[in-house]
Chains A and B, each alone.
Chain A
Amino acid sequence: MDKILRIDMGADGGPRATVEEMGEFAGLGGRAMTSLIVAKEVDPACHPLGAGNKLVFAPGMLTGSAASTSGRISVGCKSPLTGGIKESNAGGQAGQALARLGYRAVIVEGKPAGDDLWTILVNKDGVSFKVANDLRMKGTYDTVEKLKGEHGDKVTFMVIGQAGEMMLGGASIQACDRELHPTRAMGRGGVGAVMGSKKIKAFILDETGTKTRQPADEARFKAAATTFNEGLRRHGVSGQGLPSFGTNVLTNILNEAGAYPTNNFQGGRFEGHEKISGETQAAVMTERGGQATHACHRGCIIQCSGIYNDATGKYLSKQAEYETVWSHGGNCGISDLDIIQELDRMDDDFGLDTIETGVAIGVAMEGGLLPFGDGEGAIKVLAEVGKGSPLGRIIGSGAGITGKAFGVERVPVVKNQALPAYDPRAVQGMGVTYATTPMGADHTAGYAVATNILKVGGFVDPLLPAGQMELSRNLQIATAAIDSTGMCLFIAFPILDQPDTFDALVELINGFFDINLTAADVTALGKRVLEAEREFNARAGFTAADDRLPEFFEKEPVAPHNVTFTVTHEELDKVFAW
C-alpha cells in the first residue's frame, strides 16, 4: 500500500514519524512528487536552513518495480545554494528500498532543539530514531562502515558528510551503490545542508521482508518490459557506448566541438583531453582490475558506471562521471586521471557536489589561490573542506561564494549554481536551458527527451530562430515528466530514436498502474511541475533578471570558435511564455 512518511525532527520529546495516505499526491513520483509537495508545504520566504524548510524524498513512479533502469530517487527542498526550489536525483539502491517499503514520499520537517545528531532506521516494522553523535564530522565512507557494523550489509544508506553537517551550499546527500559505497550523489543545490540542518546524519533503509512492487496489469507490464529492455540493449548509446566508456565518453567530443570549458571557462579546448577521456579511463579501470561496466543499482541494464582502482589495484572510487572529470580536470587544467579520481573520492566522502566543488576550485585558481594544473594543490585545497577550516568552508559553499571571497569576475553560475561541463557560447541551446531552468544552471533540466515524438508544444521547426527557445522549453517540460518516473535519463536516446521503445516506456507506466497515459498527459504533467517550480521561485523573489547567464558569456569570445552567447534577454523571457 503506497503511503507518505512524515518525519517531524522538531517534535516535542524528540523526532516523531507518522504515516499518511497519498491524498492529492497519489500516482506521482520523483520530481513531480518533491516539487509539488515543496511548492504546497514550504513557505518560499523561509530560511533554507530553518525549521520551515522541508526535505522531501521520493522514489520514481516505477522505482521498486521490475522495470529496468527505473531506480532513481529524487530529493527536493528550498535550496540553500540558489534560494529557489530544488530537485536533485540519484541512482543507487535507496530509491528501490524506499519504494519496496511502500513509501512514495518521505517528508522531513522541523528542526531539533538540541545539537544531537540522529540516524533514522526505516524498515518493514516502521521507523526508529537513534542519537548518533559518534558519527559527528565523519566522512561518508567511515559513516557507512560504522553503520554496516550495526546493521549489516543487507541494508542501504543515505548519508551526509562533513559538508552537510557544516550546512555548506555545495553539500550533497550520498546514496550507496550495490557494494555499499556512498558514491551516488543527490548533489546539486546544497540538499545535504538541509539534511544537516535537521541534524540527520544517515537514513538506514532496510528492505528485508519486502517484495518487488507488483504491476496492476502484469501481462501488459511484462510485455512492455521485454520490448523496452530489448530497445535499451539494441541502441548504440545505451547498449554499447555508455556500458563501454561511461558518461565520460563525452570528454573527447566536447573538446573537439570547442565546447569543453577549460581553466574556468577561459577556453573551449583542453590539451590533455585524451589523458582523462572515457576511452582512457575505461582502459585504466580494466588494466587495474576494476570494472569498466557496472550498474549503480539493481536491475539497470545500461550499466554506465564503473569501479576505479588505484595503481596498486585497490578500490579508490566509482568511475567518475563526465561532469566530475571535467570540473576537477579540464576546468582546473588538471590532466592526471588518478588525481581526478582522488578528488572524486574526496567529494563523495565529504558529501559534496562534484560540479559545484570543481568549479569553485577553478574559480579559486583564477583568483590566485593556486595555479591552474596544480593537481596536488587541488587535493590540499579540497582536504580543507573535510577539516572544516575557513578556506574549506568557502570552497564547500560553492563557486559563487568562492568568487566573492577571491574577487573573481568570471564566476560561471546561474541562480548561484555552478554551470556544468558544456560551454553555452558554443552550444547556445544549452545556454538557454542553463539560464531559464528554475533549478539554476543544470545540464539535466532540459534533456534530449523525445520532444519530437511527444510533440510537446506541437511541432517545432528547430531551424527557425524561435526554435531554440521552443526546443529548450519543450525539453524542460519533457524532462520534468521523465524525472518523475524514476527512469534514468540515459533512456533518452533509445526512446528518441526507436518509436517501439518509446511506446514500450508508455506501456510500462500504463501496465504498472493500469491506466491509459497519453503523450498529452505526459506533457501536462511536465508543465504542471514546471509551473509549480516557477511560481515557488517567483514567491521567493526571483525575477526575469535571474534567468540570465553571467555577463562574461555575452562579452568574452571563447576559442577556438571565438563565439559569444548571443541569445537576447527578450528571447530568454519567451521560454516560459506558453
Chain B
Amino acid sequence: MAHYSAADAPWRELNDALQQGVWLRALTPTSLLTFLTEQLDLGWEYVRDRVETVFLDGMVVDDLEHSVVRDGSTVTLSAAMPGLVGATLRRDGFYKAMRAEISWSTTHADEERAAAPAPGLVRVKLFNLILKEVGPRLLARGVFLDHAAALDLVGRMTDDPAAHADDDRFVVVDAHDAAREGPR
C-alpha cells in the first residue's frame, strides 16, 4: 500500500482512483450514518438529500443508521441515478423490492455495533456528483491507495515512474501500521 498526499495532484488522474476506491482511517465498527456524518464529516442534510444511492460491501443500503461499517469495508456513495435501475437502487426507494437479493441486511447490525470501536481502514468509492463535490475534500485530508492503483497513478502522472522512487509525495507504508495511527 502507498500513502499519497494530493495537495497538488492532477484531478483527472485521481478521478480514476476515487472511482476505484481509496482507503481512509476510521474507527470501526460504526454505523454507516456515523461514518458519513462524523468520520467523513459530511453534513446530515447533504447525506439525506444528495447521497441517495449507497452501497456497503457491494450491497445496496436502505437504512444508514442500522448498517455497520467494519474494518476493511467498502463504502460507495452516489447521487440519485437515472432509469428504472437508478430508481431501484435508490436508498429506501419505492422500487427497492426489485433488488431485494442485493440489499444490505440489518439483521445482526445492532450486536455488531455494540463492539468497542478500534482503528481500522475503510475503502471509500465516490461516483458522479459526489465524486465532484466530496472528492477534493477527501484527498485534502490524505488517502491510501492499493499498491497497484498507486503504481498506475504514478505511471499516468509521469513518463518515468522510476524517477519518482524517492519523491516524498509517494511513501510506501504498511497498511496495518497506518491503521493503528487512528482516524485523522
Contact = CB atoms under 8 A, between A and B. Distances in A.
A241 B84 contact: no
A244 interface: yes
B58 interface: yes
Contacts of A106: none
Contact of A428 (B15, B53, B101, B132): B101
B124 to A, nearest CB: 12
A493 B87 contact: yes
Interface string A267-283: 00000011101111001
A422 B127 CA distance: 18
A563 B102 contact: yes
B85 A250 contact: yes
Contacts of A433: 84
Contacts of A287: 12
Interface stretch (A142-150, A168-176, A445-453): A445-453
A101 interface: no
A426 B128 contact: no
Interface in B125-150: 125, 127-129, 131-132
B12 A429 contact: no
Interface residues of B, number: 39
Interface stretch (A2-10, A11-19, A395-403, A460-468): A460-468
A433 B88 CA distance: 13
Contacts of B99: 257, 259, 426-429
B82 to A, nearest CB: 5
A429 B127 contact: no
A253 B96 CA distance: 15
Contacts of B102: 257-259, 426-427, 561, 563
Name the residue among A244, A279, A433 with the largest chain B CB count within 10 angstroms.
A279
A458 interface: no
Contacts of A560: 58
Interface string A458-484: 000011000110010001000000000
Q: How large is the interface on A (under 10, 10 to 19, 20 to 34, 35 or more residues)?
A: 35 or more
Given A236-B129, A279-B131, A257 B81 contact: no
Q: Label chain A's interface by main secondary structure.
A: helix
A253 B19 contact: no
Contacts of A254: 85
B86 interface: yes
Given A561-B58, A563-B101, A274 B20 contact: yes
Interface in A272-317: 273-275, 277-280, 283, 287, 304
A471 B97 contact: yes
B9 interface: no
A471 B87 contact: no
A250 B78 CA distance: 10
A244 B129 contact: yes
A249 B82 CA distance: 8
Contacts of A237: 79-82, 86
B95 A259 contact: no
Given A253-B53, A274-B19, A426 B101 contact: yes
Contacts of B85: 250, 253-254, 257, 259, 422, 427, 430, 443
Interface of B: 12, 15-16, 19-20, 50, 52-53, 55, 58, 60, 76, 78-89, 94-102, 125, 127-129, 131-132
5 contacts: A236-B129, A256-B58, A259-B85, A274-B20, A448-B95
3 interchain residue pairs of minimum CB distance: A429-B98, A448-B87, A274-B19
Given A249-B81, A253-B53, A496-B94, 14 more contacts: A242-B82, A253-B127, A256-B127, A257-B89, A275-B16, A287-B12, A427-B99, A443-B83, A448-B86, A448-B87, A462-B97, A492-B87, A493-B80, A493-B86
